[in-house]
Chain A
Amino acid sequence: MSFEPGKLLQNVELKLKGRTAVLGIGEGVMVVALWVVLKDYALHPLFSTVSSLSLLAGIVGFLALGLLGKTRPEEVPDKSFLHVDQMGIYVAQGIGSHKDLLHLMKQITGMKTLPPPSHLVRGSATNPADYVPLNSSQASEIVHQIESGVAKLLTDFVKQTTAEGGERQLPEGGQEKPSEPPPIKGKLFD
């Protein structure tokens, strides 16, 4: 039987559940070792200097590895989404970031980013005389406002839904109606 450091490290990682734990323990060991070699600096200054420099490099290296290292496949949480149509519930799991959450919610509602508008309507949309042309930056600003409104709408909905621990009963009489979203009106440049 041969000793393979790679397999040992992998085994330790599995038992400690993740690279972060191993890095954390490694950092701790090196800090203690640094303290030990510096404690008796007067007895062996050269050894202490070389050792402490090596340990400092190790501490910084481990830290950089932990912070800058790429996420490995086993460290990415499994994302799943389940829709039970008859019961009208959605079950989302493993959504770790706000961006992912908004992406998921946009998928559920079918929302896609709107193209830039060409005009504002000041009056009735049936009357072209009431159209006020927009330049490209104004149009982009309106699209940005709409996107912000969508993000707020979806975020508020999830906050509202998960506020009670993700378990909420529907009111009698069927589906509940979400609170009215803030309107995106063509009134930016009044």
Chain B
Amino acid sequence: MSLTGPLSRLTPIAGLLQLVENLVFKGQVINLDGYQFKNCAFVDCTLRTSIGNFKLQECYFQGAWWADFAGRALTVTRLASILDLEASDAKYRAVVHPNGGVTIL
């Protein structure tokens, strides 16, 4: 199969997810985007997303797990940080200027 030749148009694929079920990941960096995790456990894992294209259903987080945001997801996280700046990690925090102005780059 090839897309060569006439232009090929693809409709949006935000909902195109591969289902992954009944697995435990331990001490790994998991790129969540593109997957739907169901009944999975993440033990001491870093969960990473760039575009927020994922689903988690009845998953379990255990140990020293961490969420890592990049790309568009990072921008959204910085916006969300305004809700509770003190609770946010510096990397994921919006810049609030002394005059009250907010910068998110």
Contacts and interface: CB of A to CB of B under 8 A. Distances in A.
Interface string A173-187: 001111011111111
Interface residues of B, number: 46
Contacts of B104: none
Contacts of A77: 4
B30 interface: yes
Given A125-B58, A157-B13, A187 B22 contact: yes
Nearest to B52: A110
Interface stretch (A4-12, A33-41, A115-123): A115-123
Nearest to B41: A125
B22 A111 contact: no
A146 B20 contact: yes
Given A115-B28, A175-B11, A97 B2 contact: yes
Contact of B21 (A110, A177, A186): A186
Query: Which of B9, B33, B59 counts the most chain A CB atoms within 10 A?
Result: B9
B34 A150 contact: yes
Contact of A117 (B12, B23, B50, B58): B23
Interface size class of A (residues with CB under 8 A): 35 or more
Interface of A: 77, 88-98, 101, 105-106, 108-112, 114-122, 124-126, 128, 131, 142, 146, 149-150, 153-155, 157-159, 161-162, 165-168, 170, 175-178, 180-187
19 contacts: A92-B3, A95-B2, A97-B2, A109-B13, A110-B31, A111-B34, A112-B34, A119-B24, A121-B22, A121-B39, A122-B22, A125-B60, A126-B41, A149-B18, A157-B13, A157-B16, A182-B19, A183-B21, A184-B18
